Each structure stands twice: as C-alpha cells, then as structure tokens.
Amino acid sequence: MSVFPATAAAKAADRRAARTGGTGPASRNQRAAYLFIAPLGLGFALFYFWPMIQTFYFSFTEFGPFGGHTWIGGDNYARVVKDVTVWQALGNTLVYCGIGLTALPLALVVASLLNRRGLRAVPLYRALYFVPFVTLPVAVGLVWNWLYNGDFGLLNEVLGWFGVDRHYWVSDPSTAVFAIGAVMVWSTTGYYLIIFMAGIKGIPRDYYEAAELDGAGAVRRFFTITLPLLSPTIFFASVICMIQSLQVFDLIYIMMGEKNPAVGDTQSVVGLFYKWAFTENAQGAAAALAFLLMLLIAALTYLQFRLQRRWVHYG
C-alpha cells in the first residue's frame, strides 16, 4: 500500500522523468530530492543498516583473541538457549515489563482526575508529574537507592512508624526487582499522563455533559466514555511501554552495584547483553542474545496488535 496518494498523472510524470534521464525540470527535481535525502541516508547506512547486517553475522561467529571473527554456525544460539542466566534475565525482564505497565492505569487515573470540569492548577500538576521523566536517570537511581538504603534510608524510617521492620530493599533478592520496578513506574507515569491528557482532550465535552444529565457518576463516565474512546491511545501507549520496558537497562545498572547479592535476580536481558559484549568479550553470544530479544519484542508487539481487535474501538 502506498503511503502517498499520488495521482496517475504525477506517476506518469515521474516515470517520464526517470526515462529521459536528466534533462527536463522534473528530473532535476528528482536529483534534488536524492540530494536532500543523501545525508540522512548515508548516516543510516553507516550506523543503522550496516550494523543490522553485521549483528546478524556476528551472532554466528566467535570473537577471536586477535580481533577476528570466526564462523561457528549456530553455537551462540545454542549457548544462549542453554544458559540459565539468560532464562533468569528473561524472567526478570518480563517482571519489569509487567510492573512497568502499571504506569498506564496510574497515568489514566490521574489524567481523568485532571479532566474534571473546572479544576484549577492543571498545568501545575502536569508539570510536577512530568519532572521525574525529565530528570537524569542516574540522579533518579541514586536518590532512590538512598531512600531505599537499609541502614539510613528514609523509607525504612517512615515504614517504622507503622511498625514495619527494617528492610534492605535493593540487596534482598526477593524485593530488589520490585524496588527497581517501582522507580520505573514512578519515573514514567508522567510521560503517559501527557499522552493520555492529549487523548482525552480529543473526546467531545458534550458526551460527558450528556452522561451527567442522565445521572452518570464520575466512575460511570470514566468506564463508559473515557475508557472506550481513549482505547486507541491506551493501545499505543501500552505498545510503547512494553517495548521500552523489555529493553530496561539504565536504572538497573545504576541501582545495582557489582557486589550486590541480588545482581543475578535483577539482571535484565540488555544488562546481560552489555556484560557479555563489553566485560566478558563474548561478542558473538551477545549478538545472538540481542537478536533473540528483537524477535521477542517483535512477537509480543505482533500479539498486541492481534489482541487490539478485542478491546480497541476506533471512532
């Protein structure tokens, strides 16, 4: 399917220009178009298309001590599939993805609260909720590590008022994933909030007023108007959120020191890839791992597109 609805006449002119090869004004125009695209095209070729091909090639090779790549067939893929740490990292990544997705309902609730008629200070709230998303992730990770600190952290102190025992949140394997996941949710909710607020703005106000006249309460209006009419936006946001959280790396790298006893229990797939590729010199296996991650993302995205037919309503 063509992205551009071009007329038959225009297409004929294009063909004519291509045939005559460089004399008429139309072909001069063509040459100009290629010149406009060339800088980006060269950059893409060098830094994106060529690397795509290379990664695929690397995944079938072994990185030698003198810098060369030796072809070893599917051994890297066999190694990845047999490796316990891969399955652990995959499990952790899926948990992060599940936790990360809870940012969506949170953002949705805040967005519909902000949609309340006559509410003041909406831009202020929006700004405050968005601040964590703008902030340097390293700063976010460091301050949360400090809040979570088992000995001097504020979180333990506050929970202590309610009789909860002191806990080492990021070094206990049973809570570390959730501690990091909570920070993920905290820092992305504002982003989805803005996407949802923009979506809600597109819903005609009359619908809410009509529902109100019929006696529908706020909760009822949310489920019968906001949720169905916003479903295309929610779908888009859930796809983005899933793709992002399957590639989580920054926060884990920042919040987990190398000596942390929970390292293995919090490692994500990209974290493992980084370790293999840049600290253990297992480039081939790392490439195979990255390639399998891409296939997983593609498969889950496809699944979401299939499932959308059941719940997304396009007006």
Q: Which of 177, 242, 254, 262 binds another protein (CB under 8 A)?
A: 254
Q: Which is nearer to another protein, 175 or 304 (CB)?
A: 304
Q: Which is nearer to another protein, 87 or 146 (CB)?
A: 146
250, 187 Cβ separation under 8 angstroms: no
Q: How far is the CB of 175 from another protein (least distance, A)?
A: 18
Instruction: Indicate the residue type of 230.
Output: L
Site stretch for another protein (CB under 8 A), options 74-82, 92-100, 171-179, 292-300: 292-300
* 293: contact with another protein by CB under 8 A: yes
| Residue 225, phi then psi, degrees to nearest 5 | -115, -60
* 55: contact with another protein by CB under 8 A: yes
178, 265 Cβ separation under 8 angstroms: no
* 144: contact with another protein by CB under 8 A: yes
Q: Which is nearer to another protein, 60 or 144 (CB)?
A: 144
Q: How far is the CB of 82 from another protein (least distance, A)?
A: 21
* 249: contact with another protein by CB under 8 A: yes
Q: Which of 90, 197, 241, 262 binds another protein (CB under 8 A)?
A: 197
| Residue 61, phi then psi, degrees to nearest 5 | -125, 170
Q: How far apart are CA 105 and CA 192, in angstroms?
A: 9
**Interaction with another protein in 23-52: which residues (CB under 8 A)?**
26, 29-30, 32-34, 36-37, 39-41, 43-44, 46-52
Q: How far is the CB of 253 from another protein (least distance, A)?
A: 7
Q: Which of 8, 68, 73, 152 binds another protein (CB under 8 A)?
A: 152
Q: How far apart are CA 85 and CA 64, in angstroms?
A: 23
Q: How far apart are CA 252 and CA 145, in angstroms?
A: 11
Task: Quote the DSSP letter at residue 3.
Answer: S
Q: Which is nearer to another protein, 227 or 239 (CB)?
A: 239
Q: Which of 253, 263, 275, 304 binds another protein (CB under 8 A)?
A: 253
Q: Which of 88, 94, 101, 126 binds another protein (CB under 8 A)?
A: 126
* CB < 8 Å & 24+ apart, contacts of 194-199: 194/126, 194/130, 195/107, 195/233, 195/236, 195/237, 196/107, 196/108, 196/111, 196/230, 196/233, 196/234, 196/237, 197/111, 197/114, 197/115, 197/126, 198/233, 199/230, 199/232, 199/233, 199/234
Number of residues this chain uses to bind another protein (CB under 8 A)? 108
